[in-house]
Amino acid sequence: MANTKVAIIGAGPAGMLLSQLLHVAGIDFVILERKSRDYVEGRVRAGVLEDTTVKLLERAGVADRMHREGLPHGGFALASEDGVTRIDMAALTGRSVMVYGQTEVTRDLIDACLARGGRVEFEAEDVALHDVDSETPSVTWRRDGVEHRLSCDFIAGCDGYHGVSRPSIPDDVLRTFERVYPFGWLGVLAEVPPCDHELVYSNHENGFALASMRSPTRSRYYLQVPLTDQVSEWSDERFWDELAVRLGPTIAPHIVRGPSFEKSIAPLRSFVAEPMRHGRLFLAGDAAHIVPPTGAKGLNLAASDVAMLADALIAFYGSGDASGIDGYSARALARVWKAERFSWWFTSLMHRFPETGAFGRKMQTAEIAYIRQSHAAQQSIAENYVGLPLD
Ligand code: RFL
Ligand code: PHB
């Protein structure tokens, strides 16, 4: 008899949400996380939840604080040198998104898990997966020099892009698809009111800029920067000056400046690994795929993967039906590729690409002008941004 049903590798949003969907269904699990709880909860990343993700957090019973403190948004703005266009998601799709930080989602999930008696092994070193293509897989790890072993029925690889799960699938089984972008995002958090009540995505000659937020008093801003830039080259003053230029004359007067308390540069990448299942190992979230953050899809894809995985495991344990398990990879990838396409397209539309030159820039300008005039184009953006259906 195995020690637990599901060993979950990684306590990020994918692993933690899966654990709570399994908990609600009465399926036991153990989570192994390489970092400390403080580290996991402190990682500043995503800010936008699709309504599908909101519903999953409700299903997992961890949505109360999100509904109290999160900010529902029915639209966002596309800015360029030709003006500002609002994409009215609520009118175009009848749906909206929730602005609520990944740090808060992760904290709510970890709090709920521990309060419900869930087992999370933080600071688990040298996690290794064994016999994943047998019916008796297991996981080993070390803490304080002592080796631990856990046998399980299934392993959920929710350990992000740099984890051990994906490399546990043999090279001749796994196919990967990748595009690396020639720039990164410099992100800043500041305790100042946002410059607009909704998000603003801006295409500017100097490069992309994004105005986002975490609360009515906390702003999150991003600038496209060369990958060779160092954070130390970006003083707060330089950042605010450049942000004002890129957000343009309509938005810039509303920027409230203040000291930043988080500043970092993240590279942009599109990546997919296929298949997302090998034997009794399932990949979910960033372990299987990465999107550039422009479409706000990364955390949301992690959530839809684990929803599909939870359904597959619930069917297996409920009635012995293995069709969900067998179909997991194909079902998840169908949604992943559509989100990859949207994220790649939106990134391509909004950023300055050194290699595409003046013609590429004209194409962007023409496409933004088309979007401004076309209800159909706006509807397409809106339905992708609020999130495609799970099937
Ligand atoms: P995570 O969050 O990387 O969590 C993986 C966890 O696994 C642990 N781990 C291991 N544990 C044990 N053994 C090992 N060997 C391990 N190796 C790793 C790690 O410590 C970690 O705790 O993956 P997960 O759960 O799949 O979640 C994915 C999301 O974090 C990610 O897709 C989003 O943050 C992407 N993203 C956004 N997504 C959105 O949906 N909306 C957004 O608005 C959004 N904005 C963003 C973003 C990502 C960004 N960066 C920094 C890449 C904005 C930015 C700037
Ligand atoms: C964020 O608030 O961190 C954020 C919002 C929208 C994106 C990416 C990041 O597309």
CA terminus-to-terminus distance, the chain: 34
Task: Name the closest-CA residue to atom 47, ligand 1.
Answer: 46
pLDDT confidence band for 325 (50 / 70 / 90) = very high
pLDDT attached to residue 346: 98
Nearest atom (ligand 2) to Cα of 99: 2
Please name which of 211, 217, 216, 221 lies closest in space to residue 250, comparing C-alpha atoms: 211
pLDDT confidence band for 221 (50 / 70 / 90) = very high
Task: Name the closest-CA residue to atom 29, ligand 1.
Answer: 299
Return the active site residues. Answer: 73, 201, 293, 297, 385
pLDDT attached to residue 255: 98
Instruction: State the ligand closest to the CA atom of 155.
Output: 1
Task: Name the closest-CA residue to atom 1, ligand 2.
Answer: 47
Instruction: State the ligand closest to the CA atom of 189.
Output: 2
Task: Name the closest-CA residue to atom 50, ligand 1.
Answer: 45
Q: Which fold has domain 181-268+352-386?
A: D-Amino Acid Oxidase; Chain A, domain 2 (3.30.9)
List, as one string, the DSSP characters of 364-376: HHHHHHHHHH-HH
pLDDT digits (tens, 9 = 90+) for 55-65: 999 999 999 99
pLDDT attached to residue 336: 98
Q: Is the distance from the beta carbon of residue 54 to the nearest atom of ligand 1 less than 6 Å?
A: no
Nearest atom (ligand 2) to Cα of 45: 3
Which 8-state DSSP code applies to residue 163?
S
Scored b (16 or more CB within 10 A) or e, 311-349 reads bbbbebbeeeeeebbeebbebbbebbeebbebbbbbbbb
Q: Is the distance from the beta carbon of residue 293 to the nearest atom of ligand 2 less than 6 Å?
A: yes
Nearest atom (ligand 1) to Cα of 297: 40
Instruction: Supply the pTM of this predicted model.
Output: 0.97
pLDDT digits (tens, 9 = 90+) for 176-208: 999 999 999 999 999 999 999 999 999 999 999
Instruction: State the ligand closest to the CA atom of 267.
Output: 1
CA of 50 to the centre of ligand 2 (A): 12
Average pLDDT, the chain: 97
Q: What span, in angstroms and rounded, lies between the C-alpha atoms of 113 and 15? A: 11
pLDDT confidence band for 28 (50 / 70 / 90) = very high
> Across residues 142-159, what is the average pLDDT?
97
CA of 45 to the centre of ligand 1 (A): 8
pLDDT attached to residue 46: 87
CA of 220 to the centre of ligand 2 (A): 8
Q: What span, in angstroms and rounded, lies between the C-alpha atoms of 217 and 148? A: 45
pLDDT of residue 23 exceeding 90: yes
CA of 283 to the centre of ligand 1 (A): 13
Share of the chain above pLDDT 70, in %: 100
pLDDT attached to residue 191: 97
pLDDT attached to residue 215: 94
pLDDT of residue 1 exceeding 90: no
Nearest atom (ligand 1) to Cα of 222: 55
Share of the chain above pLDDT 90, in %: 97
pLDDT attached to residue 45: 87
pLDDT confidence band for 163 (50 / 70 / 90) = very high
Q: What span, in angstroms and rounded, lies between the C-alpha atoms of 248 and 201? A: 11
pLDDT digits (tens, 9 = 90+) for 236-295: 999 999 999 999 999 999 999 999 999 999 999 999 999 999 999 999 999 999 999 999
Q: Are residues 337 and 30 in contact, defined by beta-carbon separation less than 8 angstroms?
A: no
In the chain, domain spans: 2-72+97-178+269-347, 181-268+352-386
pLDDT of residue 372 exceeding 80: yes
pLDDT of residue 391 exceeding 80: no
CA distances from 311 to 22, 198, 271, 316 (A): 9, 34, 25, 9
Q: Are residues 334 and 390 in contact, defined by beta-carbon separation less than 8 angstroms?
A: no
pLDDT confidence band for 44 (50 / 70 / 90) = confident
Q: What CATH number was assigned to the domain covering residues 2-72+97-178+269-347?
A: 3.50.50.60
Which of 17, 113, 148, 286 should be mutated for ligand 1, with most atoms under 8 A from CB?
Answer: 286
pLDDT attached to residue 355: 87
Task: Name the closest-CA residue to atom 7, ligand 2.
Answer: 296
List Cβ neighbours of 31 (8 Å cut-off, separation of 6 or more): 8, 9, 10, 11, 15, 16, 19, 113, 118, 119, 120, 121
Phi first, then psi: what are they for 270, rounded to 5°?
-110, 130
